[in-house]
Chains A and B, each alone.
Chain A
Amino acid sequence: MAHSKVPERTSGDTKVYSYLAEYPTPQALIEACKAVRDAGYKKWDAYSPFPVHGIDPAMGIRPTILPWIVLGAGLTGMLLGLVMQIGLNAFDYPWIISGKPLWSVPAFVPVAFETTILLSALTTFGGCLVLNNLPDLYHPLFKKKRFAKATDDKFFISIESDDKLFDEQKTKSLLERTHPTALETVEDDRKVNSALPRPIVYGLLIATFLSFVPMARIAQARYTKTTDPRFNLVSNMDYQEKYKSQRGTSFFADKRTMRPPIPGTVAQDTLALDDRYSRGVEPGTNDKFISDFPPQFSVNAGAMQRGRERFEIYCAPCHGLAGYGDGMVARRAEELAEGTWVAPTSLHEPRLANEPLGYFYNVISNGVRNMPGYASQVTEEDRWLIVLYLRALQRSQAGSVDDVPADQRGALR
Chain B
Amino acid sequence: MNGPTLVELPKDNYSFGAAGKRLTTIGAVVGVLALSGAAAMGAAADDHLGRFLHAYLLAFYYVLTVALGCLFFVGIQYLFRAGWSVTVRRLAELGAGTLPALAILALPIIVATAMGNHTLYTWTDHEVVKQSHLLEHKAPYLNLNFFLVRCVAYFGIWALLSWFFLSRSTKQDASGDPKLTRSMEIVSGPATILFALTLTFASIDLIMSLAPTWFSTMIGVYFFAGAATSSLSFLILFAMALQKSGRMVNVLNTEHYHDLGKLLFGFTFFWSYVCFSQFMLIWYANIPEETEFYLHRFQGPWLAFSWFLLLGHWAFPMAGLLSRHVKRNRKALAFFAVWLLVMHYVDIAWYVLPTVGGHDAHGIPFGPMEVLCWVGMIGVFLAVVGFLGSRRSLVPLKDPRVTEALQFENI
Contact = CB atoms under 8 A, between A and B. Distances in A.
Partners in one complex: yes
Interface in A62-88: 67, 71
A109 B409 contact: no
B280 A106 contact: yes
A214 interface: no
A100 B284 CA distance: 8
A107 B284 contact: yes
A108 to B, nearest CB: 10
A99 B284 CA distance: 9
B298 interface: no
B411 A110 contact: no
Contact of A109 (B276, B323, B324, B407): B276
B280 A53 contact: no
B276 to A, nearest CB: 6
A207 to B, nearest CB: 38
A12 interface: no
B283 interface: yes
Interface in A124-172: none
Nearest to B277: A110
Contacts of B279: 106
A106 B409 contact: no
Nearest to A71: B322
A229 interface: no
A153 B55 CA distance: 63
A28 to B, nearest CB: 12
Contact of A54 (B283, B324, B409): B409
A119 B276 CA distance: 21
B286 A99 contact: yes
A105 to B, nearest CB: 10
Contacts of A110: 280
A224 interface: no
A98 B286 contact: yes
Given A98-B284, A98-B286, A107-B284, A53 B276 contact: no
A271 B279 CA distance: 50
Nearest to A51: B411
A58 to B, nearest CB: 12
Contact of B409 (A53, A67, A71, A100): A53
Nearest to B1: A25
Nearest to A110: B280
Interface string B270-306: 0000001001100110100000000000000000000
Nearest to A27: B1
A107 B279 CA distance: 11
A80 B409 CA distance: 37
A53 B284 contact: no
A203 B1 CA distance: 47
Contacts of A71: 322
Nearest to B273: A113
B280 A109 contact: yes
A349 to B, nearest CB: 35
Contacts of B322: 71
Nearest to B279: A106
A107 B276 CA distance: 11
B274 to A, nearest CB: 13
A67 B283 CA distance: 35
B217 to A, nearest CB: 18
Interface in A40-54: 51, 53-54
B283 A53 contact: no
A110 B283 CA distance: 14
Contacts of A51: 411
Interface string B1-42: 100000000000000000000000000000000000000000
B42 to A, nearest CB: 38
A106 B286 contact: no
Contacts of A98: 284, 286
Given A53-B407, A53-B409, A109-B280, 18 more contacts: A25-B1, A51-B411, A54-B409, A56-B411, A67-B323, A67-B324, A71-B322, A98-B284, A98-B286, A99-B286, A100-B284, A106-B279, A106-B280, A106-B284, A107-B280, A107-B284, A109-B276, A110-B280
Interface of A: 25, 51, 53-54, 56, 67, 71, 98-100, 106-107, 109-110
The list of the 10 closest CB pairs from A to B, nearest first, reads A53-B409, A106-B280, A106-B283, A51-B411, A98-B284, A54-B409, A109-B276, A53-B411, A109-B280, A107-B284
18 contacts: A25-B1, A51-B411, A53-B409, A67-B323, A67-B324, A98-B284, A99-B286, A100-B284, A106-B276, A106-B279, A106-B280, A106-B283, A106-B284, A107-B280, A107-B284, A109-B276, A109-B280, A110-B280
